[in-house]
Amino acid sequence: MLEETVEVGKEAADAAKKLVEHYRKEADKYQRLAEMERGRRREVEARLRACSKLLDEGPDLEAKLNSMIPDLVQAAASLPSPPEVSELQTRLEVTEKDRDAFAELLDTATKERDAALRARDAAIARLQPRRREDEQSPGDAEALKARLHASTFRGVLEQAQRHCSSLVITADMDEAKKLEHHQKAPHWRGRLAATLATMQVYAETKDLAQARGGRAGPELANLKAYCTSQPLPLLAEDKVILSEGQTASSSPRGKTQRTLRVPEYIDPSGKALMLEHIRIGDGAPPAPRLHYLDDTNRSGQLVIGFFGDHRYNAGTN
């Protein structure tokens, strides 16, 4: 009986302990809720004070805003009007055209660079066989002149086609036939050979200067400058004429007679105006002349477009 009483007492004690623990948790919960409520109340009171302050400052703010309105209106009136859609479209089209133009320029520059590199490589390739065959360095114009010797003008030109890899001869060789029986023909043939040899050596020298990565100096600016720079030139610099007089260069007849054949890789039209020329003979008729195009800066070549009687100008025709 005593044991049962002890057991019941123990159970009652455990139940009382659990009940106390339960009420303690409930008390903690309500305490937390009370703290949260006090926090919300403080927040509401702070907002209320801020609103009251704004209400108190309301008249001052309204007056300040009213005083700013005229300035804002004036500033807005002075702002530039936004561009119309059509104006923006025009600007866009101009920008696109500029972009296309720059792209085209870049493409052209790239092609010119590639052409220059090809010309350089071709020049090196042309000069190597020539050096192996002739065993002479650029500048040996006298030896080359001897190789060009022939009994006719046509023969001299044909020898140049064989031995002068930097010269492109498009001239009509029948034009030279008119000069064959002239008493000065032997002298002119010698000067023609000297001219062609000098032109070849000039082109070779310029090719090598550019192929070695350098830039041709002023003495290689053109054929006349090259002849001037030589101590004992085969071709006197005063025989090299870089342009023509007004009549020959601007008149329809003068320009037509000096517009001569060139390879299409030099000019796609297959023709070019050749005002540069060599005085093979003196000023007395037939005053033979050799007209050429100096393309050494691009293709590394000179084009011989004409050799024969003096072309039309006011002084000789």
Residues with Cβ within 8 Å of 197's Cβ and at least 6 positions away in sequence, in order, are 141, 142, 144, 145, 148, 164, 234
Q: Residue 214: what pLDDT?
A: 66
Q: Residue 157: what pLDDT?
A: 97
Strand partners, 290: 278, 307
Q: Residue 130: what pLDDT?
A: 54
Q: Token pair for residue 134?
A: 């002739």
Q: How many CB atoms lie within 10 A of CB 42?
A: 10
Nearest to 276 by CA among 214, 208, 227: 227
Let me know if residue 16 belongs to a domain: no
pLDDT digits (tens, 9 = 90+) for 240-253: 999 887 766 677 88
Residues with Cβ within 8 Å of 136's Cβ and at least 6 positions away in sequence, in order, are 143, 144
Which pairs from 22-26 meet CB under 8 Å and 24+ separation? Answer: none
Mean pLDDT of 172-194: 94
CA distance 312 to 255: 9
How many distinct structural domains can be found in the chain?
Answer: 1
Let me know if residue 51 belongs to a domain: no
User: At residue 150, does pLDDT exceed 80?
Assistant: yes
Percent of the chain with pLDDT strictly greater than 70: 85
Q: Residue 158: what pLDDT?
A: 96
Q: Residue 241: what pLDDT?
A: 94
CA distance 317 to 314: 6
Q: Residue 317: what pLDDT?
A: 42
CA distance 303 to 291: 9
Q: Residue 135: what pLDDT?
A: 46
- Token pair 């792209």 is found at 103
CA distance 235 to 207: 20
The mean-pLDDT minimum among 199-208, 210-219, 226-235, 236-245 falls in 210-219
Q: Residue 118: what pLDDT?
A: 67
pLDDT digits (tens, 9 = 90+) for 70-123: 777 777 777 766 667 777 778 888 888 888 888 888 887 787 777 667 666 666
Strand partners, 292: 304
Let me know if residue 13 belongs to a domain: no
pLDDT digits (tens, 9 = 90+) for 43-58: 877 887 777 777 777 6
Let me know if residue 18 belongs to a domain: no
The mean-pLDDT minimum among 76-85, 137-146, 174-183, 280-289 falls in 76-85
Let me know if residue 38 belongs to a domain: no
Let me know if residue 200 belongs to a domain: yes
Let me know if residue 163 belongs to a domain: yes
Mean pLDDT of 282-301: 93
User: At residue 136, does pLDDT exceed 50?
Assistant: no
Domain hosting 294: range is 111-308
Mean pLDDT of 216-226: 92
Query: Does the N-terminal peptide bond of residue 288 adopt cis geometry, omega within 30 degrees of 0?
Result: no
Let me know if residue 47 belongs to a domain: no
